[in-house]
Each structure stands twice: as C-alpha cells, then as structure tokens.
Structure 1
C-alpha cells in the first residue's frame, strides 16, 4: 500500500474558513491515495470535532510563535511520496488539476510543484494579487521547514511543475487598513523584526517586512526596508527571488507616495543594473510607463513601451527563464497581463510625440485575438481616437493595415472605407460587425448606417428593446436639436420593419424638441399632437381597451396617461375652449412633470390667443403657471440646468412680472454656462 500525497493542515480556531478548507480537500482525499494530518494550535472543542470528521491524525501543538516548528510536527508524521501543506484560512477553488497530476503519474517526473495563492486585499474579494507558492514537493529524509515566519520547505529541487490550481486566501483582507489588531500583519511584524535583529543583513527578512508595511499602507517604512534589502542582496553571488521582489516593488512603492520623479529615477537606475533580470525589467517598464504618462514625458515613455515589448518577447521565447524568474506576486504571467494597457499608453505617447510610424507598429502588437484582454480597453482606444481628430484618418489607416478577425478593428476598417468613399467595402465590413456587434458599439454602427442608408435589419434584429431604448434616449439627449429632426427623417425609413422601435425613437426626439426649444407659436400643439398619437398607438398595441378606458384605475405608465390627458386637452384647444383646456393641462403636468416645458409652450400659445382676443386670463392659467414653476424648482435642485433653462424661458413669457422666475433664470444661466477664460 502506497500513500501518494500527505496533506498537512495547520489549524487554529478559524471556524469561519475551516469548513471551506476541509470541503475543498475532500476530492483529494477521495480520488487519491492520500492522508490528511491536522496540526491543531487552537482550543475550541467545536474545531476538534469538525477535524475528526475528516481525519484521525489530529496533533495538538502549543503555539510558540514559530511556524516552522509547527509545520515540522506535521511533516514528521507524513508517510506520502509527496507532501503538501496549507493553512485553515485557505481553500482550493478546484483540485481537478492536482488530482490529474498524481493520477496520470506525471508527478514522478518532478521534484516539486507550485500552485497559486490568491491573496485578497478586501473582504469583498474585488482586489487581489496572485502569487505562485511552492507548497508541494517530493518527501525525502532531508525535507524540513526553515524560518519561524514565512516558513519555507527545504530543500526545494528542480524540476518543478507549475499548476494553475489556486487557493483563496483572505488572511490579509480587512475593512479598516489602519486597525491592525487581530490581523496577520500585527502577528507577523514583531516576529519578522525579531528575525532581522538576529540576522541584521538578511535581505529576505527585509523583503518580508516591506511586504507587511505595504499591506497596511505604510509606504515610507516599506521603502526603507526595500532599500536595505537591496543593499544586502547585491552582495550575494546568486540572484534570489527576494531580490527580484525588491527590485520590482521599490519604485512602485515610491510612486504610491506621489513622488513620481523619484520613482522614475529609481526605476531607471535599477533597469541598467546587470543583476536586474528580464521579468524585473518588464515590471520596471510598467512602472516607468505609468510615471511618464503622469509626468507627460511622452518620448521617454515610448522608449519604455518598446523596452517592455522587447522583454516580453524574450520571455515568451525563453519559457524556462520566465519560469525561474519569479517571486511572491512577481511572475511572467502577471507582468504579461499589463501588455495591452502598456501598448495602449504607447499609442498616446507616439501620437503626442508625432511618431505616426510607431502608432502603426504598436497597433500590431496589441493582442487583438484575445477578447478577454483587449475588450476592457475599447473605451481607452476610443478616447485615443477622439482626442486626436486631426490625425483620425491616419489612425483609421493604421487599423486598416491589421490582419485580425477582431470586430473592433473591423469597425475601424469600416469607418476607414467610408472615409475613402469605398461604400461597398464599408457595407461589407458593416454587415460583419452588425451580425456580431462588439458590446457598446451598436450606436456607432447605427450612425454609419444612417449616413449611408444601409439596412438596419442585421443590427436591429439582434437588439433588445432595452438596448434600443437606451440608444434612443442617448441620441435624443446628445444630438444637437438642429440636426435631430434631420436625423430622424433619415433613420425612419430604415426602421420600416420595426414600428415599435421607430415610435420609441420618434417619442424621444419629440420629447427633446418639446422640452428644449423655443418653438414657433403654432408648433407646440402640432408636435404634442404627433407625440400623443405615437404614444397612444403603442398603448393600443400593448393594453386591452378596458385598461385604456380607465388609465388611472390600472395605473398605466405616466407617459401613456399624460398622452391620454393631453389628447383631450388638444381637442378643446382646437375648438377654442381655452378655459376647459387649462385644467387638463394642469393634470397632465402632475402625471408627467418631464413634459412641463412642452405644456409651457402650449400655454404660451394660449396666452397669445387670449391677448389677441383681449380675453381675461383665467385663474386656472395662473395656477398652472405656478405649478410649472415648482417643476422648475425641482429641476434646479437636481442640477438639470439645460432642461431648467427651457422651462424658465417659457415661464418668463407666462409670468413676466414674477421676480422669483427672473431670479431663477439668472441662477440657471450662471450654473449652466461654463466660465469664459480670457488671456490678459
């Protein structure tokens, strides 16, 4: 009988995580010939009872502030070919890869193995960093743990296997970074400082102390120990993983203090040292690119984008070197995750430097085929394109030279073909994008279609009503009102097969016109009638007649109820029954305050008719005016200055002697108008 794997678990009284830890080990115990050894440092009987459900090997240990001694107790009892160790606040996400490593016999080809420890920095699990940890090795008589804190297995021989399996670890997570009580840092720091006092020239202890200070945001102390650790590490013949960590983190920690010039200087000095290997160089380039961006040193930043690219290419061609050059949270995989963001910064740098040749080159470096890496950067790429309109043709031409199936690039090629007058080519590319539209770019595809009268069917047929409503609302809000009606006239024929979508766009456009424009006296009634007809047509298609007959009873959406009331008001208005019209308009404003400007414009038409016929303005007219004034107050409270301006303009004509209205109008103008800066 042969035990493949001994699993040693160090257990205190952390019941909140122990259950998850043990449950994650169950597949290993079930699928492999393995044993679980629990070294128990706690006092809680409940913890013991839970452990005994999983193993009979529970070894009591009195805690003595020495992790190696505690680990060696479990190691002494191990009988497996291989040994694995972990803590009770860690649990595996999935152990399938580890099980296959042993079941397949692959483990016989290696001396040790790494898996990933995912260290969370907050209790919500949103911020974390991954670190490769060597927690598995072949068990030999010489195997032992060293160091009382941040203990290591020794000896740790090659060849080693890197596994993608990972454990969740919340040991460093907390809500209040200033409160160190009951945290690992409060436990670790005194032990580490004591170790350094015994061995004052230990670069590894300096690194571990710097890590603890970094985790609690004490960057000045972390920087101090980084410098001290590097001083000692440089005197050693070999380059160890702690020196790699210190090189990478020193300029990064300096940048956290806000001293970007010093961070840049420090990173540049480290970069030229012969002891700085390729993974560290790539990390330093990432820090240098960020510093150059913030310091607006674009040409220098472009230099380090290129150097980063060079180092990443070297590491990909030399995977053995990449595998050897790693430390806690410092790996080839981690620094390669910065590839796309670094190259996008390079696009900004090269554009600022006027180096269009580099623009095309860097575009070709981006990982276009890896959607998970490139898609988060689409907004940044759009920002780059829009920031430099003077060279937009050159930017689009750069995209046009790329050989990739990426849909975002396809969209840029479509725009380039349109600008070059190659309409058929633009249509072909547009159709490809429309059939599998990149998220967030449906709107631009619609604009292209409207400009060139392309059929919208391939795109709109795949759009949900929610996405279409979002588009129509944004279109009505952001387009200039002078071009909005022209745009609607162009897009409406393209929506022939989608009447609901066409009416939704029509309603949004009419709302914009009615709530933001000082229209000619005849237009408010005409546009309101068109608006109500469109809204009520939708209502008739969606609701039963008995529902529409009593809208208040069935609590229809406010837009529909508003349209029903205004339709009745317009009938009276067209008959010349102004007195009967006003109470209905009063009720309509209460139902749908958003359209108060439209009602105000209709009131202005009523006022003109009353003055022309020398009739007395009824009291209801003034009541409605005051009600619209309250709507204006609400808009100002919400800082909706553009919409508030439209309401105030109507109220000035409606209540010309109301000083409160005049005062509000001035306040709206003050807040809604950007300051004019003059060069004296």
Structure 2
C-alpha cells in the first residue's frame, strides 16, 4: 500500500486489461491535465497479457492488480481505495481527452467546484468507420464523500448522494465501441447482464444496459431490443423517479429508424413529448426533432419536415448557448449536437425545398453548410453527393465555385484531389451541366492542376483555341496530366486545336488506354475530334512500333465507339488505321514463323491486321470473290472488330455488285447495238451498218459475234 499523498486535488482511476492499442494515447492525452492540476493516476490491471502493464508503469503513480471475478464494479472500486484526491474521476483506456482541457481546469480553479459536487464530460462515441456516432454527458468527476462506490457487475455505475452536477464542454472521444470490437463486447456482456436481470427483472438500470447489448441492425435482435425498451418505458411511466425515460424513448426511436419504420418513429416521438417530465426545452428534444424531420422527409412530407428541422437547429443553437435543461443528458447519448448532424439537417432541408420547388429557400439552407469543417472531419467527402444533387436539381452551379474555394482552404492535398476527382465521376459526360461546373471552377482563384484543366475546358467552350492550347501544353509540359485519366480532356483539346498529337500521347504513357476510354465516354464527339486530328496531321507511311501503337489506340477507339463523325471521314480514318496496324504487326511479329493456324493466340486486333494484310494481297490480284471469303472468315474469328471488317466486306461486296451491274448494263447495250445493226442490214442501209459495226468493234473487240456480224455484212452488200 502506497503512502497517502497530500495536496492532491484529483485522483484519476482506471481499470485495464490488454489495452495496448489505446492506452498510450489515453495516458498521453491526460498529461496536460496532470500538469495543470495536482493529480494522481491509479491504474488497476485485471490480468493483461500484452504490453499494458509496461505502458501503465510509464505513466501511473501506482499500478494495482486485481484478480478478475466477472465483476466490473469490484475492479473499479480498487481505484477508490486508499487514494489522496479530494475529487475522483474515472476513465477507460479507449477514452481519449481532446487537447483542450481548459474546461476541467477552469472548473477546479474557479468557483464552480465549490458550487457543484460533480461534473459531466462531453463524450463522443465513434462508429465502425471511425466517425462520430453520438454525444452524451456522463458524470465522470465527483467530489469524494463517505459511501462513494461502484455497483454493477456489468456496466458498473457510481453510487453517490450527489445530485447537483455541472456539464463541462471538455470533449472525451470514445473509440472502444467501434465495429467488430463493439459486437464482441455486446456478446461478451450479454450473459452476465441476463444473469443480473434474472435477480431483479424490473431493474431499470440493468434493462437499459441489456438494451445496449442488442444490435438493432440484426432483425431478430431489433425485435428483442424493442421489447426491452417498451418494458423500460412502462417502468419509467409508472415511477417518475426512474431517470431512464429520455434514453428509453430515444433508443426506441433509433431502433425503429434502423428498421426503416418511419411511421413508428413519428408515433414514438409523439409519445415522448406527451410523457416528457421536463417542462421546457431539454437536451433529448434535440435528437427528437431531428429524427422527426428525417422521418417526415423519408415519408415525403416535405413541409412538416422543414418545420421539424428548423426546430432542431433552434435547439442545437440553444444547447451551445447553454439555454437548455441538460438534466437528461447523463442518461442519453445525443447525435444531434455533433456538427456533421447539423450539416446533414441542412442538406435534408435543401432537398425538401427543392421538392417543394422553392429554390431560393434551398439556396439559403445549403449556404449554411460549413464545408471546411465537414471536409476536415470526412476527408473522403461523402457529403458531396448532396451537393451535386442540389446543383443538378437547382441549376445553381455557382455553388460549385464556392464549394471549391472552401475545399482549397482545407489542409491536405489528398482532400483537394478527392474533391476534383469526385467532380469528374459525378459529371462523367461533358454536357451542359459539366460545362457550367467547369466554368464555375475555372473562376476559382488559386493554382492547381485541376483548376488549370477547367480553365482549359472553359476556354475551349468559349472558342478561345489559343488560350485552351496554351493551358493544355502547360499541363503536358509539367506532366501534370501524365498517368492520370482524369486529364483525358487534354488530349481532346490537343486534337481540336490542331496541336501535335504524338507528344501528348507520349505523356500519358501506360495510362493511355484508360485515358482514351474516359475521353470516349466523356465527349460525345470524340470520334469527330479524332478524325479531325488524323485528317489534319501528315502522318508518315510508317513509324516506330511505339508510335504506331499509340496512334492506332486512338483511331481504333474512335472507330469502334464513335458515331458522330461523317461517314467519309470515318472511312478515311479506317483506311489509315488499317494501314498502320498492319505496319505495326509487320514490325513486331516474325510473320514467316507465325502460320495462320497459330494466330488464335494473338489479340483480336492483331489477327485482324494480319487478315487484312492477306485480303489486300488477294485484292491486288483482282480476286474479289476470294476477298469476300477471307473477310467472312475474319469476321468469324475477330467478332470484336466487326465494325471494321463489315465495312471492308460491304465495300468489296459493293464493288462486285457494281461490276456485275456494269456487265449486265454493257450486255444490254451490246444487244441493242446488234439489233440496230441488223435493222440497218435488213433495210439495206450499207453506210449505217458499216458505222455501227466499226464503233462496236472498237469498244468490245473480244465479242465473238463480231466475226458473224462482219460475215453477214459482206454477204448482204457484195
């Protein structure tokens, strides 16, 4: 037993077991408080097997040991024995003080510690995504007095005669109930809690703790949770001294919300206000009005939803102005006092106004959203879905510029990149809305590669090709666009503005294929731009394999996915593509060692190229029918290239048809000439017969009937 110290104002008591994950952060966060006030730190270990004892010894004034007996209160009471502080505060290893501990220090150094006998701290729970999931004000600091002790084998609580406490704004962040860890704790505690409840079936404290052991996200557990809550509410209504009423009603509301029972949510909230004991505004009202607004919104009752959310925000402000009765906060955790909940209410109010076709009012709500704080709290920026939805519905793309300005002020390049990337994903096609967004972003002050991209887009849309080309080159020269498909529009600008294409293709390197796919999806006139670029540039008859590969990538995508270019331009591009892909394959393959039956191992595009090479050779020999056969076989073996093969197939088929039609027409003309010749012959018109015979022999000398016609002429005019 250690000697009792003197002059200690506050004893901090903790129980721990295998807490090496959080304990260093927890104890380090206590250092400013221990330096500001005369404190002692007592840590009781209940059987750790990791580094917990080693860590505790570095910080604690005393480390105690307790033989675990499935009783949290018994373990906690060891931190109350033989201590020196006038006041006592208890904490768990997964509860981390914020750096600002001035509220606690001021409480002890000012008159408040003489006026009040206890103080509550603002605890913020974190969910499985490490995001705030609710705040509550448990009493954790209390003046020592005879009889002070803990009770409860599970979810132990402090027993004291102290009634009057003060709510501090000092924040403690609780991480221990996150994700699977929360689930494990629930399942571990449940048998012990059920055993205690059997001893006293109407114990409201144990009912409340057992409720926390059932997860409302599981339907079977949600049903049991509702049953326990309704039982707890009945106990509270029968005995007004039971202080679990706000907790029970609000927990029932949240359980119904989790099950999407929005009508049930509204019924329970009405029931709460009917049975509420506190006459004025109280802390639990904050969440009740927020949940009412959200439930009404989901039921598409937009006008009453707005009223409820306006009332929620009034209570939110009153809470931070200390104008609410907080006597119910020790029993209930509030979500609505967190900034992100407030922001959520503003987004929902915005959607309500848009649904009511009140765009001006919608603009006032969304204008209150503090983007900087949201972005700092949520660097993955999930709230942008609401922002983009508002812009689409309202047409207020000026909001995009304001949004970007606030994002640019947030520390961390990753947040800014995330914003710009989400803009590209949300507006994947460059339509009128994407143009409005680009114009708004182009006007934002500051330097960033994505801002340069949007300025290039705006200049291009405004017809300022010179400015657009200059900005495109700036992105390419700095290689800001390199390996980033989000900058696909740089290629589009290069093609439209008549700049050399090869250097731009080189910049994108290995990301070229993905970049081209993004561009084809983003710009409906992608193939028109490609046709313009390749129709303009004097490309060589051949080139290095790498250069040919990149050029053919661009051309093939335009030919396979594009539909906007004129047919003549597409035909010209198809001929160029075929020539260059054949040239590429001739350079990279040893064709002599690659028999036709082994070509199946090649990519379809290369099988197409080698097949077209053979088609051209056969066509050069004038065997159109053989060409058709080869093209049909190629179509069967390369179905992904069907557009190009079918085009060539149709072209040769047309040539054969045209030739056949020409032959037929010539034969009809020949028959007509012969009929004319014999008509003159019958009429005895020698000169006319001679003239027709001479002309026909000149145009069709191979006709075997010419000799017959000459013989008939000579016999008739001897």
Query: Is residue 361 from structure 1 mapped to residue 361 from structure 2 by the alignment?
Result: no
Report the counterpart of residue 628 of structure 1 in structure 2: 638
User: Where does structure 1 lack aligned partners over 5 or more consecutive residues?
Assistant: 494-502, 534-561, 573-578, 633-643, 657-680
Query: Is residue 321 from structure 1 mapped to residue 332 from structure 2 by the alignment?
Result: no
Q: What is the aligned counterpart of 2:173 among 166, 185, 191? A: 166
Q: Is the 8 A contact 2:286 2:315 kept in 1?
A: yes
Query: Is residue 243 from structure 1 mapped to residue 288 from structure 2 by the alignment?
Result: no
Q: What is the aligned counterpart of 1:302 among 302, 306, 310? A: 306
Deviation string, structure 1 residues 491-510 (Cα, Å, up to 9, x no partner): x99xxxxxxxxx99998764
Query: Aligned in 2, Cα 1:433/1:528: closer, same or farther, shift over 3 Å?
Result: farther
Deviation string, structure 1 residues 523-550 (Cα, Å, up to 9, x no partner): 46646757999xxxxxxxxxxxxxxxxx
Deviation string, structure 1 residues 367-392 (Cα, Å, up to 9, x no partner): 35545279532222223433x4xx63
Q: What is the aligned counterpart of 2:79 among 74, 77, 80? A: 74
Query: Aligned in 2, Cα 1:619/1:216: closer, same or farther, shift over 3 Å?
Result: closer
Alignment of 1:638-657 (within 5 A): none
Deviation string, structure 1 residues 468-507 (Cα, Å, up to 9, x no partner): 55545465232464465259979x99xxxxxxxxx99998
Greater radius of gyration (CA): 2
Report the counterpart of residue 136 of structure 1 in structure 2: 141
Query: Aligned in 2, Cα 1:52/1:469: closer, same or farther, shift over 3 Å?
Result: closer
Q: Is the 8 A contact 1:98 1:165 kept in 2?
A: no
Q: Is the 8 A contact 2:121 2:167 kept in 1?
A: no
Q: Is the 8 A contact 1:119 1:128 kept in 2?
A: yes
Q: What is the aligned counterpart of 2:288 among 284, 289, 311? A: 284
Alignment of 1:19-30 (within 5 A): 20-21=22-23, 24-25=26-27, 28=30
Q: Is the 8 A contact 1:285 1:305 kept in 2?
A: yes
Deviation string, structure 1 residues 229-259 (Cα, Å, up to 9, x no partner): 233334565794x332223221221132343
Deviation string, structure 1 residues 33-54 (Cα, Å, up to 9, x no partner): 5444344544979987886776
Alignment of 1:31-46 (within 5 A): 32=35, 34-42=39-47
Q: CA deviation at 1:196?
A: 4.4
Alignment root-mean-square deviation, CA: 5.7
- Find the aligned partners of 2:325 and 2:611 in 1 and give their Cα distance: 71
- Find the aligned partners of 2:408 and 2:22 in 1 and give their Cα distance: 42
Report the counterpart of residue 315 of structure 2 in structure 1: 311
Query: Is residue 451 from structure 1 mapped to residue 461 from structure 2 by the alignment?
Result: yes
- Find the aligned partners of 1:408 and 1:118 in 2 and give their Cα distance: 28
Query: Aligned in 2, Cα 1:403/1:532: closer, same or farther, shift over 3 Å?
Result: same
Report the counterpart of residue 387 of structure 2 in structure 1: 381
Once the two structures are overlaid, the 10-residue window that deviates more, 155-164 or 613-622, is 613-622
- Find the aligned partners of 1:166 and 1:334 in 2 and give their Cα distance: 14
Q: CA deviation at 1:75?
A: 0.4
Report the counterpart of residue 433 of structure 1 in structure 2: 444
Q: What is the aligned counterpart of 2:267 among 259, 265, 268? A: 265
TM-score (norm 2): 0.61
Query: Aligned in 2, Cα 1:265/1:601: closer, same or farther, shift over 3 Å?
Result: farther
Q: CA deviation at 1:265?
A: 2.9
SS of the residue corresponding to residue 624 of structure 2 reads coil
Q: CA deviation at 1:513?
A: 1.0
Once the two structures are overlaid, the 10-residue window that deviates more, 33-42 or 256-265, is 33-42
Deviation string, structure 1 residues 140-186 (Cα, Å, up to 9, x no partner): 445433444423333364334332243431588349x5x88962333
Query: Aligned in 2, Cα 1:261/1:158: closer, same or farther, shift over 3 Å?
Result: closer
Q: CA deviation at 1:357?
A: 4.3
Query: Is residue 485 from structure 1 mapped to residue 528 from structure 2 by the alignment?
Result: yes
Report the counterpart of residue 663 of structure 1 in structure 2: none
Query: Aligned in 2, Cα 1:232/1:604: closer, same or farther, shift over 3 Å?
Result: farther
Report the counterpart of residue 211 of structure 1 in structure 2: 212
- Find the aligned partners of 2:403 and 2:28 in 1 and give their Cα distance: 48
Once the two structures are overlaid, the 10-residue window that deviates more, 141-150 or 518-527, is 518-527
TM-score (norm 1): 0.64
Count how many residue pairs are aligned between Structure 1 and Structure 2.
567
Q: Is the 8 A contact 2:289 2:309 kept in 1?
A: yes
Q: CA deviation at 1:79?
A: 1.0
